[in-house]
Structure 1
Amino acid sequence: MKKVIYNQFGDERVLELVEQAVPAIQNDQLLIRVKAVSINPLDWKVYGGEMKLMSGSRFPKSLGIDFSGMVEQAGSQVTRFKEGDAVMGLLDAFKGGALAEYVVVTEKDITRKPALVSFEQAAALPVTGLSALQIMDQLAAVRPEQDVLINGASGGIGVFAVQIAKKRGAHVTAVVSTDAVTAATQWGADTVIDYTKQPINQLTQRFDVLIDLSTKLSLGEAKPLMKPRSVLVSTLPSPVTLLSSFVTNLFSGKKHKILILKPTVERLTTLTNLAGAGLQIEVANTYTLSNVREAYAEARHRKRIGKSVIVLD
């Protein structure tokens, strides 16, 4: 089978497409024939060497976190899935491995793909959708009537964060570029700010929740936008930000939470139900496995609404 690996840290040029044997499964595992894999910003942070503390430095390494596909084989102890089931799921964020023609998973890693969701859309859902759910329900604990600002709302997480915040009854302000203003309105944002015309540091409104998906808003910059008891959620974990947020949360009513994705079967099921009920999933562009370097180069350097997806034959 074909699989994407890398043997050193660097840019997308370190990515290699190699031939490997189809992996064997154990009794509690499933073999999935992969149909599509989405690209996440965390991918290039990992293969670029920015996340060595979490990913380690042993090579070769694999790439690709969330995927969709068909169950090719199920172990004798598997009870929830059978051969031929259409599924979607995700692997360990720092180990990857989904960018391959076949991948081995356990039952807790996957859920059934909703019938009306394409394989490309399904692959674009788990990491960003689960991130949005974890932010809304755990880190920010968004409640009805709260004022929520989502900075960078047109990216992978933002698409779902806007929609889920509205489902939680919040008043949502989405900060996007000019080309995403219409889309953010369609996702349900109450107020849409084009940051090229109105910098958010000029806003006079104060918010209960600020969600920074641009990774550019520091706590110091966010504080003037925060109510006395409020929370800023950032999505780029690092030792410095984790330590800083720990100290801040001990002494201030303005809390700083850092997203470290912790998938659960319950959240994956919730996400599947939302998708089946009409959650909008934005696929920005699709690529073939042989064009993996081009796919990552464009995803890194071109801002798009939604996510880029690599489609396998």
Structure 2
Amino acid sequence: MHTAPATPAAAPYRGRFAPSPTGPLHFGSLLAAMGSWLLARHAGGEWRVRIEDLDPPREIAGAAEAQLRSLHAFGLAPDGEVLRQSARGELYGAALDRLLAAGDALVCHCSRSGLAAGGGVHHGCIVGALRTDPAVRLRVPPGTRIAFDDLLQGRVEQDLYAEVGDFVLRRADGCWAYQLAVVVDDAAQGITDVVRGADLLDSTPRQIFLQRRLGLSTPRYAHLPLVLDADGRKLSKSLAAVPVDDDEPLPALRAAWRALGQAPSVVAAAGTPAQLLDAALRAFDPARIPRRHELSLAALHNTDVAAAP
């Protein structure tokens, strides 16, 4: 008698929060951290923290340490060690070598100005272009379309060839591109669920395509609403992006809880971050998270935001 092969057990939930050290945590960062922490803990899973310090010109000295202090002050403790991408170049190099050897990546001599003059989407290097510091790109063949179901934003489809083209894996200045590093690290850390801001929704098809090229599994994705200031700018580019207050964490935690669509009364009586997070976790309902791309910072002063997923 033949027996059916056993179905592999699903990997335990493992989420992550991965800030870039370009400044202290602001409210938008806190929302992403709290949302990913709640979803991981609600699923009985782990929550990791990774510092995405791949872009030295944009980094601020001491920002990573300040971000970690803020997470501690807000009671958001990660499981396991905190990884820093700046120390993981060998892993990225090994992945890049595989892609080059397979013909899935190409050395690119195009300049930004030359590419912009040709429409900005790379479908092959400009004839005659030659530079001493070429980038490396992933080939995106004609007809490449990527579709996935985001747990919050619904069905997402992108014509990767037409809209993005061959995208950068290693920049001309030698820095590793975000797309390569995040894919390699999510796989290496066993991340099953990526919860982050909706500003990264457009990057996800690139990451899924790269995962397939590297033979890596694709995690589930959930993109939280992006918090905008009164002028419609995301907080990382806004004067409204004042740092969260490590000495007074409760007001920002309560605001993030409301932004996640949850009932404000649940956490009203909490006197410490630990008490607030404990109450929040017991009452957390993922179905109440707003299914939209954006939230206004001003609207968060209105507790009715919790009633409008």
Q: TM-score, normalised by structure 2?
A: 0.23
Q: Which has the larger radius of gyration?
A: 2
Q: Which has the higher strand share?
A: 1
